[in-house]
C-alpha cells in the first residue's frame, strides 16, 4: 500500500502546484483552443471533413500531450534546478515512484483542455456535445491521462543525462500530434507511420475517448492504454536504473 | 547627427546588437536550436498540410507558404521578448539602461539578429516543404519568396518589439509571446483562407503583420509579378514600422516608469 499512497499524494501535490502556474494553464487550456478553432474553421471551410465534435476531442487530447511534451521531458531537469534531484534519488522510495506522480500530474492538467475545448466548441461554434457512453468516457479520460503520463515518464527517464531535455521533449509535440490520429486520421498518413502510432499512448487514448463519445468499441482501446501504461512503467524502471547509475558514476546528477 | 554620432550609433546598433544577442542567447546550443526553431516549425507545417488534406481545403503549396512565413513569428516574438526580458534575468538591465547610449540604436540593434534568426527558420520551413510535400515553385519565384520572407520577418519583429516592451512591465513574457503567436496563427490566413474566416477576424487580420506577406507570397507562387503585389508588401512593411514605433515608445515609457518607481529589476 505504501507505493500507491506515495504515488497518489505525489500526484495531488504536483497537480495543485501545476494548476497554479499561468504557463501550464495556458499550455493546457489556451493552446488547445487555438488548434480547436483552427480545426473547426478548416473543417467548415473544407469538404468531406470529420465532425466538429471529432475535432473538439482531438484538440482536447492534443492538450494532454502538449503539457506532457512541454514539461515532462524537463521534469528531472526542473528538480535539478530546484536542487532537489540528489535528495529525491537517495530517498528510500524507488525513484520511479517519485518521478511518475510528477509526469502523470503534468499529463493530468491536460484535463483542463478537455473542459475548455468542449466548452469553447459549444459556446462559439454551437457544437452539440453528446457523449454516447458517458460511463466509458469517464473511464477513458483517466486511462488516457495515466498512459500519456507514463509515456512522459519514459521521456523524462530517457533524458536524465540530456541537459536540453525540455527543448528535445517540446520538439516532440507536433510529431506526436500528427502521427497519433488526434486530428489527422492515420489513413491519410504514409503506411509506415501506423506501427509507430500504435506504440504511442495518445493513439489509444484518443481512440477510447472518441469511441466513447461518438460510438464504437471502447474496451480494446482501453486495454491498449493499460498495456502501454505497464510497458512504459517497465521501460522507465530500466532506463532510470541505467541512467541513474551512469549519472552517479560520472558525478553529473546535479550538474545543470 | 554628426559623423561621430553616426559612427557611435552604428557601433551600438551592429556590434552592441551582436554582442548582446550572443550573450543573452548563449544557452541556445544546437541541441536547443534544432528541436525548437527548426524541427517544431517543420512539423507544424506537416501537421497543417495533412490536416488540410483531411479537410480537402487547399493544396500543399498553399499550406507551405502560409506556415513557412508564419514560422518566423516564433523566433521574432520570443527572441525580442527575451532580448529585453533576458537583461533583467541576467541582472544587466539597470546597467544597460544606465548608459547614455542612444535608445534607438540600443533596442533596434537587438532586433537585427532576431530578424535574421527568424529568416533562417522561415527559409528552413520553405526548404522542408519543398522536400517533403507537393511544393515545387519555379526557380524564378524563389528570390521573390525570399523577399517576402524578409518583409514578413521585418514586420513581425516590429510586433515583437511591442510585445518585448511589455516585458519591462509584465513578468511572463513567454505567455505574451505565446498568445500573440496564437493570434497570428489563427487570424492571418495561415491555415484558413481569409474569406472563410468570420468577417471581424478578417478585418483584424488586415492590421496584423504577415497577413499581407502571406497573401503576396501565395500570389507570387501562382505566377504574379512583384509589381502586382508591391502594395501588399509595402502594407506589411508599414505595419511593421507602426508596431516598431509603438514598441519603442512603450520601451521608453516603461523605462521612465521603471526608473521613477524603482521597479526595473523586479521580476
Give a yes or no: residue B266 inside a domain.
no
Of A42, A47, A178, the CB nearest to B46: A178
Asked whether the beta carbons of residue A22 and residue B32 sit closer than 8 angstroms, the reply is no
Chain B residue with the nearest C-alpha to that of A51: B55
B193 contacts in chain A (CB < 8 Å): 45
Give a yes or no: residue B236 inside a domain.
yes
Q: What is the DSSP string of B90-113?
A: TT-HHHHHHS---HHHHHHHHHHH
- Mean pLDDT on A100-112: 92
To the nearest whole Å, the CA of B36 is away from the closest chain A CA by: 6
Q: Does A161 touch chain B (CB under 8 A)?
A: no
B52 contacts in chain A (CB < 8 Å): 42, 46
| SS percent in chain B: helix, strand, coil, step 5 | 80, 0, 20
Residue located via cell numbers 533596434: B108
Chain A residue with the nearest C-alpha to that of B132: A190
Range of the domain at B132: 3-261
For residues B56 and B88, give the distance between their C-alpha atoms in angstroms, rounded to a whole number: 47
The answer to whether residues B125 and B42 touch, using CB atoms and an 8 Å cutoff, is yes
Of B40, B57, B178, the CB nearest to A173: B40
Neighbours of A132 (CB within 10 A): 13
Give a yes or no: residue B267 inside a domain.
no
**For residue A244, what pLDDT is reported?**
81
**For residue A77, what pLDDT is reported?**
76
Give a yes or no: residue B56 inside a domain.
yes
To the nearest whole Å, the CA of A200 is away from the closest chain B CA by: 17
For residues A30 and A20, give the distance between their C-alpha atoms in angstroms, rounded to a whole number: 15
**For residue B220, what pLDDT is reported?**
95
Give a yes or no: residue B36 inside a domain.
yes
Which residue, among B152, B148, B162, has the nearest Cα to B73 in the 3D structure? Answer: B152
Q: Does A124 touch chain B (CB under 8 A)?
A: no
> Which one of A164, A169, A188 makes the best mutation probe of the B interface by having the most chain B beta carbons within 10 Å?
A164
> Which one of A22, A48, A174 makes the best mutation probe of the B interface by having the most chain B beta carbons within 10 Å?
A174
Collect all residues with Cβ–Cβ distance below 8 Å to A24 and sequence separation of at least 6.
A18, A67, A71, A109
pLDDT > 90? residue A150: yes
> Where are chain A's structural domains?
2-250
A189 contacts in chain B (CB < 8 Å): 50
Query: Does the predicted interface ipTM exceed a cut of 0.90?
Result: no
Asked whether the beta carbons of residue B56 and residue A49 sit closer than 8 angstroms, the reply is yes
Collect all residues with Cβ–Cβ distance below 8 Å to B261 and sequence separation of at least 6.
none
**For residue A161, what pLDDT is reported?**
67
**For residue A1, what pLDDT is reported?**
67
Q: How do residues B203-218 score in pLDDT, each as one tens digit?
A: 999 999 999 999 999 9
Q: Between residues A250 and B184, which one has the greater pLDDT?
A: B184
Q: How do residues B48-99 score in pLDDT, each as one tens digit?
A: 999 999 988 899 999 999 999 999 998 888 888 888 888 887 888 888 888 8
To the nearest whole Å, the CA of B258 is away from the closest chain A CA by: 24
Between the alpha carbon of residue A25 and those of residues A21, A30, A209, the distances in Å are 6, 7, 22
Longest CA pairwise span in chain A (Å): 59
**Residues in B 103-142 with any Cβ partner in A closer than 8 A:** none
**For residue A50, what pLDDT is reported?**
73
Which residue, among B104, B136, B108, has the nearest Cα to B20 in the 3D structure? Answer: B108
> For a pLDDT cut of 70, what percent of chain A falls above it?
96
Mean pLDDT of chain A: 88
pLDDT band at A233 (very low <50, low <70, confident <90, very high): very high
Longest CA pairwise span in chain B (Å): 61
pLDDT band at A225 (very low <50, low <70, confident <90, very high): very high
Asked whether the beta carbons of residue A174 and residue B43 sit closer than 8 angstroms, the reply is yes
Number of structural domains found in chain B? 1
To the nearest whole Å, the CA of A147 is away from the closest chain B CA by: 23
Q: Does A43 touch chain B (CB under 8 A)?
A: yes
Q: How do residues A40-99 score in pLDDT, each as one tens digit?
A: 889 888 876 677 788 889 988 999 998 898 888 777 777 888 888 888 888 888 888 989
**For residue A210, what pLDDT is reported?**
93
**For residue A49, what pLDDT is reported?**
67
Mark the ranges of chain B whose per-residue pLDDT is less than 70.
Answer: 171, 265-267
Asked whether the beta carbons of residue B179 and residue A170 sit closer than 8 angstroms, the reply is no
Q: Does B32 touch chain A (CB under 8 A)?
A: yes
Element (DSSP H or E) covering residue A114: helix A111-125
Amino acid at each position: 500500500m505504501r507505493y500507491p499512497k506515495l504515488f497518489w499524494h505525489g500526484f495531488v501535490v504536483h497537480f495543485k502546484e501545476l494548476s497554479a502556474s499561468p504557463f501550464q494553464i495556458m499550455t493546457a487550456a489556451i493552446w488547445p483552443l487555438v488548434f480547436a478553432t483552427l480545426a473547426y474553421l478548416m473543417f467548415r471551410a473544407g469538404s468531406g471533413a470529420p465532425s466538429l465534435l471529432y475535432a473538439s476531442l482531438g484538440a482536447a487530447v492534443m492538450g494532454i500531450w502538449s503539457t506532457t511534451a512541454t514539461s515532462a521531458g524537463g521534469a528531472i531537469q526542473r528538480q535539478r534546478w530546484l536542487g532537489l534531484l540528489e535528495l529525491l534519488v537517495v530517498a528510500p522510495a524507488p525513484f520511479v515512484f517519485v518521478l511518475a506522480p510528477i509526469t502523470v500530474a503534468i499529463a493530468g492538467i491536460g484535463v483542463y483542455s478537455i473542459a475548455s475545448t468542449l466548452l469553447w466548441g459549444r459556446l462559439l461554434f454551437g457544437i452539440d456535445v453528446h457523449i454516447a457512453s458517458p460511463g466509458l468516457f469517464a473511464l477513458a479520460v483517466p486511462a488516457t491521462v495515466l498512459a500519456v503520463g507514463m509515456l512522459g515518464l519514459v521521456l523524462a527517464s530517457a533524458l536524465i543525462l540530456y541537459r536540453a531535455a525540455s527543448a528535445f521533449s517540446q520538439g516532440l509535440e507536433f510529431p506526436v500530434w500528427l502521427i497519433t490520429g488526434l486530428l489527422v486520421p492515420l489513413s491519410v498518413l504514409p503506411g509506415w507511420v501506423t506501427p509507430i502510432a500504435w506504440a504511442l499512448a495518445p493513439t489509444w487514448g484518443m481512440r477510447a475517448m472518441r469511441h466513447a463519445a461518438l460510438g464504437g468499441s471502447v474496451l480494446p482501446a482501453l486495454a491498449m492504454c493499460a498495456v502501454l501504461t505497464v510497458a512504459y512503467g517497465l521501460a522507465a524502471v530500466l532506463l532510470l536504473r541505467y541512467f541513474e547509475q551512469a549519472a552517479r558514476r560520472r558525478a553529473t546528477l546535479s550538474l545543470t | 547627427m554628426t559623423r561621430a554620432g553616426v559612427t557611435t550609433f552604428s557601433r551600438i546598433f551592429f556590434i552592441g546588437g551582436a554582442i548582446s544577442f550572443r550573450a543573452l542567447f548563449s544557452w541556445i546550443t544546437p541541441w536547443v536550436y534544432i528541436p525548437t526553431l527548426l524541427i517544431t516549425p517543420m512539423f507544424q507545417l506537416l501537421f497543417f498540410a495533412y490536416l488540410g488534406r483531411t479537410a480537402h481545403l487547399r493544396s500543399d503549396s498553399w499550406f507551405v507558404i502560409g506556415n513557412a512565413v508564419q514560422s518566423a513569428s516564433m523566433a521574432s516574438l520570443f527572441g525580442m521578448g527575451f532580448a529585453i526580458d533576458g537583461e533583467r534575468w541576467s541582472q544587466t538591465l539597470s546597467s544597460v539602461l544606465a548608459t547614455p547610449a542612444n535608445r534607438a540604436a540600443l533596442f533596434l540593434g537587438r532586433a537585427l539578429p532576431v530578424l535574421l534568426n527568424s529568416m533562417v527558420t522561415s527559409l528552413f520551413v520553405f526548404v522542408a516543404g519543398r522536400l517533403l510535400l507537393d511544393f515545387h515553385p519555379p526557380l524564378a519565384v524563389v528570390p521573390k519568396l525570399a523577399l517576402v520572407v524578409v518583409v514578413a520577418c521585418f514586420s513581425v519583429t516590429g510586433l515583437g518589439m511591442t510585445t518585448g516592451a511589455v516585458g519591462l512591465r509584465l513578468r511572463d513574457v513567454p505567455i505574451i509571446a505565446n498568445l500573440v503567436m496564437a493570434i497570428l496563427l489563427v487570424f492571418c490566413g495561415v491555415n484558413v483562407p481569409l474569406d472563410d474566416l468570420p468577417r471581424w477576424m478578417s478585418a483584424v487580420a488586415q492590421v496584423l503583420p504577415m497577413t499581407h506577406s502571406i497573401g503576396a507570397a501565395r500570389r507570387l507562387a501562382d505566377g504574379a509579378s512583384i509589381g502586382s503585389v508591391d502594395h501588399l508588401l509595402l502594407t506589411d512593411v508599414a505595419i511593421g514600422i507602426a508596431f516598431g514605433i509603438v514598441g519603442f515608445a512603450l520601451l521608453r515609457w516603461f523605462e521612465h516608469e521603471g526608473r521613477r518607481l524603482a521597479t526595473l529589476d523586479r521580476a
